[in-house]
Amino acid sequence: MPDRYGEQLAAWGKVVLLETTGRASGRTIRTAVGFVAEPDGSLLVSAGSPSAHWAANLLADPACHGTIGAERRAYRAEAIEGPDRANAITELILKYGTPAEALGAGPAFRLLPAVD
């Protein structure tokens, strides 16, 4: 089922519409995710739960695509830990506000620009 709100927020540039490959189904899964853009073109993202399916999909297959506004790009997810993870969570909280839904309770990633 399409996520109309997520698609609209991505069109406005507020979130990235992340496309992962389902680890069990093999189908393309689309999820709206908050992000922080880095100067090198990478995106910082974090799951609100350790069981977030999109995050588990990235752990199984780090190749993904993201759409922000009218731009769709290929990325490769890299899990981040330690101080880099803490900094990413802090930046996401500063951008989106208090983590009412446990922002950062799940895995965090740096989405690195990739070649399609």
* Per-residue pLDDT tens listing for the chain (116 residues): 457 898 999 999 999 999 999 999 999 999 999 999 999 999 999 998 889 999 999 999 999 999 999 999 999 999 999 999 999 999 998 898 866 567 778 999 999 999 75
Closest CA to 29 of 67, 64, 68, 76: 64
pLDDT at 2: 58
Q: Which pTM does this prediction carry?
A: 0.92
pLDDT at 104: 77
* Residue-range domain boundaries for the chain: 4-113
Closest CA to 65 of 13, 25, 5, 112: 112
CATH class of 4-113: mainly beta
Q: Are 9 and 18 in contact (CB under 8 A)?
A: no
pLDDT at 99: 64
pLDDT at 116: 59
**Helix residue ranges per DSSP H, the chain:** 4-11, 53-60, 82-96
d(CA 73, CA 55): 18
Strand order in the sheet with 108-113: 28-33, 16-21, 63-68, 71-80, 108-113, 43-46, 36-37
Structure tokens at 54: 């999109």
